[in-house]
Chain A
Amino acid sequence: MDFKVIDGITPELNRLASQLGDSRAIVAACGKRLEIELRAHFAALDKKPNSMGWPKRHFWNRQVRSQIALSQITSTTATVTISSPALVHRIQGGTIRPKRGKTLAIPANAEAYKMGSPREANVDQLDYIPLHQGNLVGALIRRFQSIIKRTKNGSTGKMIGGDVMYWLVRSVTTKPHPEDLPSDEKLSGAVMETARDVVARKLRIR
């Protein structure tokens, strides 16, 4: 994915740096501010409830926000790295096909979503039901079990299971979501605010 320069701030940064005569101090502070802004943006996304109303797995925090760090500072450039292949896919969209299995497992309810993939959950009480309807290959359903309770008045029993836990599909295609990134205006505004603060403070204490 492309290297993304925060647009439109270079001339103003140059002007501030020439006032100060120390570009590294400005660049380092601006890079840090960019890291802060990006992390805050994804932290805010993480606070939104799950779209299905299921328990959150904190995708935005664990796979994006926590993977962001200011990674390089020179006298003229600062780079913040987002180490998240999952975000790249989210922004660009595309089709995912299985590699480690023959199908992809899509959680069908909150319990399955919380457990993660069937491989991760290691649940052995699931049965495979073939469906073969286009992209939909089948389903993993909870195995039927009889639960018998003994009471003073005798025994009562009930049957549980049969509910679909995962849908198994050949591929999943997701739309691009460029709107999940913060806007250039927001980022450049914050970065320039920090640049001006640094210059003002440095000039004040001279």
Chain B
Amino acid sequence: MSIPLWIEIERAERSYEFRLNTLSALAPTWSATSPVPASWGKPVALWLIAMEHAANTMSTDAEFILFMETHLARLPDLINDMDHDALASVLENGMAAAVVSSVRSVLSKSHDLKPLAISFDYGPLQEAVGKMDRKSPVAVALTSAQWEKVPVQIRERSQFSARVESARFLQHIQDETRSSLAWEKEKVTPSDRAAGGEAFIDRSSFIASARKVAIEEGINTTTPNNYGTVRDIRSAKRLGLIWDMQTGNATEYARWKTSNDADVLDAFPAQRLVRIEERMVPRPSWYWPTRWAEAYFNVGGIGAVERDMVALKTSLIWTKLSRFGTPWPPFDYGSGMGLEDVDRDEAESLGLIGPSERLTPNEDPGFNAGFEMSVAGLESKLVNWLISAMGDTVSLVDGVLKWISK
């Protein structure tokens, strides 16, 4: 007689199934904590305990599977060791189904196996894609200096580029960068110039397509003597900068979000401003230390170290340091500076945090529903555009702009 039985073991988020076509797997009274039953099921109970031990202690998955295969091969010997008469009487009493159910229940629930797993995968950063989704094109021809005066909450919701008032061009920037962050492929129609097929959007293809739109829209952001420079919206330098800033801002935002998780903050409460990339024409060596010192002074040194360019992640120094008012990089146009996490031990040794102190995560500076701001001091054309572009997500009452949702 044979009763099919599946044993499921979860380990590291994977489920292993072992099919046993034998009566020997029946051990109705066994559990991980109870004594091994001195009945017909003892050999099998011991066998199951060994399996559980392996699931909890084997260091690699390959080792675990190999062990299980070897272990399963021992089942026929166990069957010979069993008290078959006792077992038969149990079965005759119609207990088989209950027994199987009991074993399965013990394995799937009573063991309370909740394996912890740390992993990495390949795919889009959803927070970065979501950040792009929450933006709206704001086709108002402000200079970059004028845009810098606009509150960060608006800039973080706006897709803009200095001196550009083509909504189509700005929408193109948003669509292309969003598609790239989302790993969406663009369909290229075959022609006499293109082989056709599906292709990822990258920096190079973005520069070419955005330049084409800019030319079609007749956008001209500078004078002929500045053509080809960063002031020229059709130049590779300017379009490459737009790409770097847009994608960099979105991915660094995604990283900032989880860095602000309370448990992550507890283990890695601080960060350090460091050079990530060398530049062909670097800013002077005193530039960033001086900027840091100014920001340090502005926040009264709270949560920051004066000379080492290290601060708590929750310190306001990061938004003061940034040209754009965001606590995540990039902190300036074309900057090669970035962030490096600082762990708890070092943060404590620098006097930034006490041994039992727990930080409160920062609020997201950009996307809070209910955010209100006065429009006094803002360019009227910008206010009008915001109201028309953002539709029913904002309201303007008595000179106060309020975000309703999004």
Chain A residues, Cβ within 8 Å of B115: 10, 14, 76
Q: How far is the CB of B199 from chain A (nearest CB, A)?
A: 4
Chain A residues positioned under 8 Å from B266 (CB to CB):
25, 28-29
Q: Which of B205-213, B374-382, B392-400 contacts A (4 or more CB under 8 A)?
A: B205-213
> A52 at the A/B interface (Cβ < 8 Å)?
no
CB neighbours (8 Å) of A23 from chain B are 114, 116
* Stretch binding the partner chain, chosen from A31-39, A126-134, A146-154, A156-164: A31-39
Interface size range of chain B in the complex = 35 or more
Q: What chain B residues lie within 8 Å of A29 (beta carbons)?
A: 263-264, 266-268
Q: A3–B195 Cα gap in the complex (Å)?
A: 33
Whether A6 contacts B119 in the complex (CB less than 8 A), given A70-B258, A70-B264, A116-B204, comes out as yes
User: Shortest CB–CB separation between residue B12 and chain A, in angstroms?
Assistant: 4
Q: Does A30 contact B (CB under 8 A)?
A: yes
- Report Cα–Cα, A45/B244, bound state, in Å: 20
The prevalent SS among residues of B at the interface is: mixed
For residue B54, which residue of chain A has the nearest CB?
A11
CB-CB under 8 A from B202, the residues of chain A are 86
Of the candidates B116, B188, B252, the one having the most CB atoms from chain A within 10 angstroms of its own CB is: B116
The complex places the Cα of A134 from the Cα of B198 at a distance, in Å, of: 25
- A contact patch SS: helix
B227 CB to nearest A CB, Å: 11
Q: Are B199 and A82 in contact (CB under 8 A)?
A: no
A71 and chain B: residue at smallest CB distance = B125
Max chain B C-beta neighbours (<10 A), residue from A25, A32, A58: A32
Task: Tell me, yes or no, whether A4 is within 8 Å of chain B by CB.
Answer: yes
Shortest distance from the beta carbon of A34 to any chain B beta carbon, whole Å: 6
Stretch at the interface among B58-66, B146-154, B156-164, B293-301: B58-66
With a CB–CB cut-off of 8 A, which chain A residues contact B47?
none
Determine which of B116, B122, B196 lies in contact with A27 in the assembled complex, contact meaning CB atoms within 8 Å. B116
The answer to whether A100 touches B205 (Cβ under 8 A) is yes
A71 B276 Cβ-Cβ under 8 A: no
B56 and A14 within 8 A (CB)? yes
Task: Mark contacts of A7-20 with chain B using CB atoms, 8 A cut-off: 1 yes-contact digit, 0 otherwise.
Answer: 11111011001000
Judge whether A67 is part of the interface by a CB distance below 8 angstroms. Answer: yes
Mask for A58-75, Cβ within 8 A of B = 1, else 0? Answer: 100110011111110100
Name the residue on B nearest A101 (C-beta): B194
Enumerate chain B residues within 8 angstroms of A80, measured Cβ to Cβ.
119-121
Q: Is A145 an interface residue (CB 8 A)?
A: no
Complex Cα distance, B117 from A31, in Å, reads: 9
User: Given A25-B266, A85-B183, A100-B205, are A4 and B199 neighbors across the interface (CB < 8 Å)?
Assistant: no
A83 to B266, CA, bound (A): 26
Q: Is there an interface contact between A120 and B344, defined as CB atoms closer than 8 Å?
A: no
> Which single member of B59, B121, B268 contacts A82 (CB below 8 Å)?
B121
B119 contacts A79, C-beta separation under 8 Å? yes
B37 at the interface (CB under 8 A from A): no
What 0/1 pattern do residues 47 to 58 of B give for CB contact below 8 A with A?
000000000111
Residue in A closest to B202 when the chains form the complex, CB atoms: A86
Q: CA of A82 to CA of B124 in the docked complex: distance in angstroms?
A: 8
Given contacts A79-B119, A101-B194, contact A70 B255 (CB under 8 A): yes
Q: Which residues of A contact B280 (CB under 8 A)?
A: 55
- Cα–Cα, bound, A9→B267 (Å): 19
Residues of chain A within 8 A (CB-CB) of B120 are: 4, 6, 34, 38, 79-82
From residue A77, how far is it (CB to closest CB) to chain B in Å? Answer: 5
Does chain A have a CB within 8 A of B118? yes
Closest 8 CB pairs of A and B: A28-B263, A29-B267, A99-B199, A69-B255, A80-B120, A13-B116, A120-B204, A8-B59
A-B contacts, 20 of them at CB < 8 A, read A6-B118, A14-B115, A27-B118, A27-B263, A29-B266, A32-B258, A66-B248, A66-B338, A69-B254, A69-B258, A71-B258, A73-B264, A76-B13, A76-B117, A78-B119, A81-B121, A97-B195, A99-B194, A102-B193, A194-B267
| Further contacts, 20 of them, CB under 8 A, given A14-B56, A66-B276 | A6-B117, A6-B120, A14-B115, A25-B266, A29-B263, A38-B120, A58-B277, A66-B252, A66-B338, A69-B125, A69-B255, A73-B261, A78-B117, A79-B121, A80-B119, A81-B122, A82-B121, A100-B188, A102-B193, A120-B208
